[in-house]
Structure 1
Amino acid sequence: MKNLANLFFVSLLSGATTLGAYKLFIENNAPQSKLSIASESFAKNVGLGAENVDFTVAADNAVHTVVHVKNMTTYNVPSDPFMEYFFGQRGGGGQQTQVGTGSGVIISEDGYIVTNNHVIQNATELEVTLNNNKTYKAKLIGTDSKMDIALLKVDANEKLPYATFGNSDTIKVGEWVLAVGNPYNLTSTVTAGIVSAKARDLTNNGIQSFIQTDAAVNPGNSGGALVNTRGELVGINTMISSQTGSYVGYSFAVPSNLARKIVEDLMEFGNVQRGVLGVEGGELNGNSSKELGIKETQGFYVNKVYKNSGAEKGGIRKGDVITQLDNQKVTGFATLSSYINTKRPNDIVKVSVVRDGNTVTLSVPLTKKELVNYEYNGFELEDIDVADKKRFRLSSGVKIKEITNEKFQEYAQELKGSIILAVDGQKITSMEQASKLLNSKSETQKFRIEVITQDGQRLQMLL
């Protein structure tokens, strides 16, 4: 009996020691967030039809966290001198207000709200209505136009219901999800569907990586919540695929892991901290693998490693095939960029590459984008900064940092420091798009660029 008691005591002490070690070394070292994040759960409604899945708890949790967002934009309308001269009346001059609406999701009890950038773009005044019909003026904290995310803040005199972030990396195709929006200020509405696909890139440049779902989403639901059957936020609904403007079967959401990282950056730094890997290439398929003479048909083929990048420092080489980042499988550029976009400069990423038939895992530190030398077809480029955007009233374009190709040297004086607005008539919206367009031009091929010089001149040049 005494031995049994001793054995029980040792077992109890061992369990307590294990629990204490977990609390001390694992929980205390876990990254802290101001947002509510769900713990990993393995409870899934596997193999259940819609009639057997209980959506009520998830819906009840979600509807109270989704709000109606009203965007009021005031703009000046020029007067019509013809009307004034002949009829002695003002021809429509003065100020007019345009109203747009969308949805948003409360993500903290003190009133932080995430929505889409396009919902609040150009707003002069923002108003938010909760599911209980209370209305508050909202303040814009920051935006990320590339990922279509914006962060708002309301000052309420009470603690607000808020959404808990789920892990969008672990959701599976075929998993049930709910789309919750407040499009017409009629309190929140809920639709159900499944995850149709992951890592959808609708821009063809790999920058964005959406969750695709067949849950019905219509205009006005933008900025609303995509939640799993436990009510955890797994995405921010952002657009639909439709030729009519109404829902016809597919809608898309920004993954919650990406939205959470952007929101945390805006809260802490006031802007988005983007780390880059520093590689250029393309995703593999049967045809491209055959052309390259390699066996792998999935992954990201590295065609170029940029100078001063984390990829260069970490040992990634031209010809490597990236197949995994940490524990995330890489099937192409969309999955690669989606994972990297959840990281910050100086984060270390374990990059698995196939090299000469062998798998090699490298520790790669992500770099600040502005520290990497991006060279495309003889142009060394960089993103335009806030000062240039304000000075030239631009929302997009890329700046020419240096000319490195001898055939363009005669234009170097005009081009250096200029901002590329378009290539062959295509508006430049990002560094990635500029890369794709410029690198598609051969050494002998002529192309036209539209630039704005540092003294404000707009030029069309045939290079």
Structure 2
Amino acid sequence: MQNMQSNEEFTLQYLAKNLPSRRQPARSAVKVATQLKMSLPMFAVALTALLAFCAIVLASMPANARSAPASFADLAEKISPAVVNITTSTVIAGRTGPQGIVPEGSPFEEFFNNRPRNNGPRRSSALGSGFVISEDGFIVTNNHVIEGADEIQIEFFPGDGQPTELLNAELIGTDKNTDIALLKVDADTPLRHVPFGDSNIARVGDWVLAMGNPLGQGFSVSAGIISARNRALQGSYDDYIQTDAAINRGNSGGPLFNMDGEVIGVNTAILSPNGGSIGIGFAMSSDVVTRVVAQLKEYGETRRGWLGVRIQDIAPDMVSAIEGLENEKGALVTDVPDGPAKNAGIQAGDVILNFDGDEVEDTRGLVRRVGNTDVDKTVRVVVLRDGSRETLRVTLGRREAAEAASASGDDTPQEPDSLDILGMTLSELSDDMRQELGLSEGAAGLAVVDLDEASEAFSKGLRAGDVITEAGQEKLETVGDFEDRVADARDAGRTSLLLLIRRDGQPRFLALSLDD
């Protein structure tokens, strides 16, 4: 009995070291049994243990697990004819300084550049990439690749029936907010092109291919994986796919492909201490690009929805200061200039919880959702006001045509008075103070004239010269109003008071503790 136990232990140890094929476990097990010269009972025990082990291994593997491809050659050969090199010619003014990463004025100036900088006016050539999206010659690239260009020329991938000569491209339209541009060429024959894929179903860890013209070296392909999704760099409409596929200067505007040969991103930016790839590249997601391209194709420009509010995210310490608010979700309205929101009755201090049927997580999500909504569409907006939810109907305007709207002030000026409270010295506004602070005639509120540097107000960024226009989501005209708001909040059992602050005309909310 002791010998049998020892043999079985030895068998299991051997099997653990010499795992048989998943496809033919029984045949492999017989081979192992033969090598060990097992008896039939011992073989049955070993086979049972082996099959149980294989079942555990197989159960732990994802059902849709995909191994790394043996080669990307077939895919690259299929999609490469649609990738193009872009050469631009521009007369530029001189500028001193080292070569950067993007042209001056691009929204990605600190990230990505294809143009050198020298002194004196001169004609400059720049290189970038793009890809054909239709047989009739529409081409997508980055705005910063072609911005300010006098001439745009397209070079096609050699062979496969694509044009062999350089073709001049017409600029159809651009969108600086997403750094996307749409071009058009006229060719004698239908062009090879590639489709867009759905970036929303792409997953971190999926294989991707980046193609383009890095550093002017000609057509090139690099492989990697999706490192992260939903990255934001600078703009309100950012939705970047991060990848470790090699992206360098000249790859700007080139496609990022999934393994089905679909474009799920437009290579746009890199993070790098030296201007070269270190495996942190960004491609604008196809979910954003397809909307922009459709509008550029139809109108030659973008037409984004516009709600007409200034908003900020909700800080954790604001939750207890806003009646009826349960968590940090939503967008807090700081100002309502003339526009759609004001016409619909949205007010400063409202918390936007839902827009057109979608829950609002934060300001970035709201801005993108509004921008993706059709101009002139009437939508339902749910706001939290005075502890209760209200549903308002707002007919959206067009953002591009209305961004210059400004807030109005209708309050009556009061005689100056001052108050020391919560580590602040507050003063009612005089005409001289309004002029000094750049406020409109008749603007109301309390000026912060001094601060205790050990106070919470100072630590949260309040400074002399700031103007407090609301406390507890009610307008302030006198220092007595402020005292009343503090008393009301304490009577209601609140531990903090929400203030609306203006500095250089820009509004923001902050919450101050009411602890003595």
Which TM class, normalised by the smaller chain length? 0.5 to 0.7
Number of the residue aligned with 2:142 = 116
Number of the residue aligned with 1:101 = 127
Number of the residue aligned with 2:448 = none
Does the 8 Å CA contact 2:306/2:398 hold for their aligned counterparts?
Answer: yes
- Provide closer, same or farther for how the CA distance between residues 70 and 259 of structure 1 changes in structure 2, counting only shifts above 3 A: same
Number of the residue aligned with 1:407 = 434
Q: CA deviation at 1:306?
A: 3.8
Number of the residue aligned with 1:4 = none
**Residue 240 (structure 1) aligned with residue 270 (structure 2):** yes
Give the number of the structure whose alpha-carbon radius of gyration is greater. 2
Whole-angstrom CA distance in 2 between matches of 1:193 and 1:373: 42
Does the 8 Å CA contact 2:76/2:221 hold for their aligned counterparts?
Answer: no
Number of the residue aligned with 2:42 = none
> 1:127 aligned to 149, 153, 165, which one?
153
Whole-angstrom CA distance in 1 between matches of 2:90 and 2:80: 27
**Residue 281 (structure 1) aligned with residue 305 (structure 2):** no
Does the 8 Å CA contact 2:239/2:288 hold for their aligned counterparts?
Answer: no
Does the 8 Å CA contact 2:257/2:265 hold for their aligned counterparts?
Answer: yes
> 1:70 aligned to 70, 75, 87, which one?
87
Q: CA deviation at 1:119?
A: 0.5
Alignment of 1:328-407 (within 5 A): 330-349=360-379, 351=381, 364-369=394-399, 370-371=401-402, 374-375=405-406, 407=434
Whole-angstrom CA distance in 1 between matches of 2:354 and 2:202: 18
Q: CA deviation at 1:109?
A: 0.8
Amino acid paired to 2:466: S
Whole-angstrom CA distance in 1 between matches of 2:438 and 2:326: 43
Amino acid paired to 1:146: N
**TM-score, structure 1 normalization:** 0.61
- Provide closer, same or farther for how the CA distance between residues 168 and 51 of structure 1 changes in structure 2, counting only shifts above 3 A: closer
Q: CA deviation at 1:239?
A: 0.6
Does the 8 Å CA contact 1:325/1:350 hold for their aligned counterparts?
Answer: yes
**TM-score, structure 2 normalization:** 0.55
Q: Give the match's secondary structure for 1:73.
A: strand
Number of the residue aligned with 2:222 = 190
Number of the residue aligned with 2:197 = 166
**Residue 443 (structure 1) aligned with residue 485 (structure 2):** no
Whole-angstrom CA distance in 1 between matches of 2:259 and 2:272: 26
Does the 8 Å CA contact 1:66/1:182 hold for their aligned counterparts?
Answer: no
**Residue 271 (structure 1) aligned with residue 297 (structure 2):** no
Number of the residue aligned with 2:185 = 154
Does the 8 Å CA contact 1:177/1:195 hold for their aligned counterparts?
Answer: no
Does the 8 Å CA contact 2:182/2:293 hold for their aligned counterparts?
Answer: yes
Q: Give the match's secondary structure for 1:193.
A: strand
Query: Unmatched 5+ residue regions in structure 2?
Result: 1-61, 95-117, 411-431, 441-463, 469-501, 506-516
Whole-angstrom CA distance in 2 between matches of 1:243 and 1:351: 44
Q: Give the match's secondary structure for 2:288.
A: helix
Does the 8 Å CA contact 1:308/1:372 hold for their aligned counterparts?
Answer: no
Q: CA deviation at 1:58?
A: 5.2
- Provide closer, same or farther for how the CA distance between residues 319 and 443 of structure 1 changes in structure 2, counting only shifts above 3 A: closer
Number of the residue aligned with 1:304 = 335
Whole-angstrom CA distance in 2 between matches of 1:169 and 1:269: 26
Query: Unmatched 5+ residue regions in structure 1?
Result: 1-44, 78-91, 380-404, 414-439, 449-463
What's the CA shift string for 1:203-242, capped at 9, x where partnerless? 2x63534333333311111101123332222221111112
Number of the residue aligned with 2:171 = 140
Q: CA deviation at 1:132?
A: 2.0
- Provide closer, same or farther for how the CA distance between residues 446 and 72 of structure 1 changes in structure 2, counting only shifts above 3 A: same
Whole-angstrom CA distance in 2 between matches of 1:292 and 1:371: 30
What's the CA shift string for 1:379-430, capped at 9, x where partnerless? 9xxxxxxxxxxxxxxxxxxxxxxxxx993599899xxxxxxxxxxxxxxxxx
> 1:179 aligned to 202, 207, 210, which one?
210
What's the CA shift string for 1:140-167, capped at 9, x where partnerless? 2222222211111111111112221223
What's the CA shift string for 1:229-286, capped at 9, x where partnerless? 3222222111111221112232222222322222222222222222212222122353
